[in-house]
């Protein structure tokens, strides 16, 4: 049986150096979202919540390829109430990140930015970031809407992607 860190590394296809903890799991017990420490190799790493689920990443990438980043940015610009909800989500990410930062760390990208290091909440860098925030318990309207747009949000029981990592 692999550790959470080993599973996350398999999911992402790379070594993970700043994993803090798993914050959300699928019904099969595998990590969906992890919390990253905001420093990696002594440098700023502003993405607090990272979507690791291979299934969700693939489905959300499909929405991005259909132009949903621009559609959300257009809505942010035209809907003041929606913008305010997105702004509050960014602020919550910022507060959570600052809470775990060492006091001596004062990089602007870590203490003044929101989701994924985004300084302007009118910019939607990627839908994966917003979905990870929502799954980590932040009231992120973009992440919530993305999940509602998906036909399925988890693997089928007979085709659990992460299961292959635990088979020897």
Run means of pLDDT, 10 residues per run, the chain, 168 residues: 94 95 97 96 94 98 98 98 98 96 87 95 97 98 98 95 80
Decide if 35 contacts 55 (C-beta within 8 A).
Answer: no
50 near 34, Cβ under 8 Å?
yes
Residue 91 to residue 96: CA distance in whole angstroms:
9
pLDDT of res. 1: 84
Q: Are strands 31-36 and 39-40 parallel, antiparallel or unpaired?
A: unpaired
What's the pLDDT score for residue 167? Answer: 67
Parallel/antiparallel/unpaired status of strands 39-40 and 49-51: unpaired
Residues near 30 by Cβ (< 8 Å), separated by ≥ 6? Answer: 7, 11, 53, 160, 162
Q: Tokens representing 81?
A: 């109430």
Contacts 24+ apart (CB under 8 A), 110-113: 110/38, 110/44, 110/46, 113/46
Residue 165, pLDDT score: 80
- pTM of the shown model: 0.95
Q: Which residues contact 20 (CB under 8 A, 6 or more apart)?
A: 34, 35, 36, 37, 100
User: What integer pLDDT is reported at residue 117 of this predicted model?
Assistant: 94
Q: Are 37 and 45 in contact (CB under 8 A)?
A: yes
What pLDDT does 22 receive?
Answer: 98
């Amino acid at each position: 049986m692999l550790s959470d860190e080993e599973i996350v590394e398999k999911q992402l296809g790379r070594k993970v150096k700043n994993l803090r903890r798993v914050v959300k799991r699928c019904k099969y017990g595998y990590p969906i979202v992890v919390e990253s420490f905001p420093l990696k190799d002594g440098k700023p790493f502003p993405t607090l919540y990272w979507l690791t689920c291979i299934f969700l990443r693939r489905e959300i990438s499909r929405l991005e390829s259909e132009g949903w980043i621009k559609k959300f940015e257009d809505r942010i610009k035209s809907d003041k109430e929606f913008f305010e909800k997105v702004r509050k989500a960014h602020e919550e990410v910022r507060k959570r990140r600052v809470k775990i930062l060492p006091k001596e760390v004062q990089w602007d990208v870590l203490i003044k930015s929101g989701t994924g290091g985004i300084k302007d909440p009118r910019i939607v860098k990627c839908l994966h970031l917003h979905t990870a925030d929502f799954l980590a318990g932040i009231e992120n309207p973009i992440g919530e809407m993305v999940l509602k747009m998906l036909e399925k949000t988890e693997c089928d029981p007979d085709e659990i992607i992460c299961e292959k990592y635990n088979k020897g």
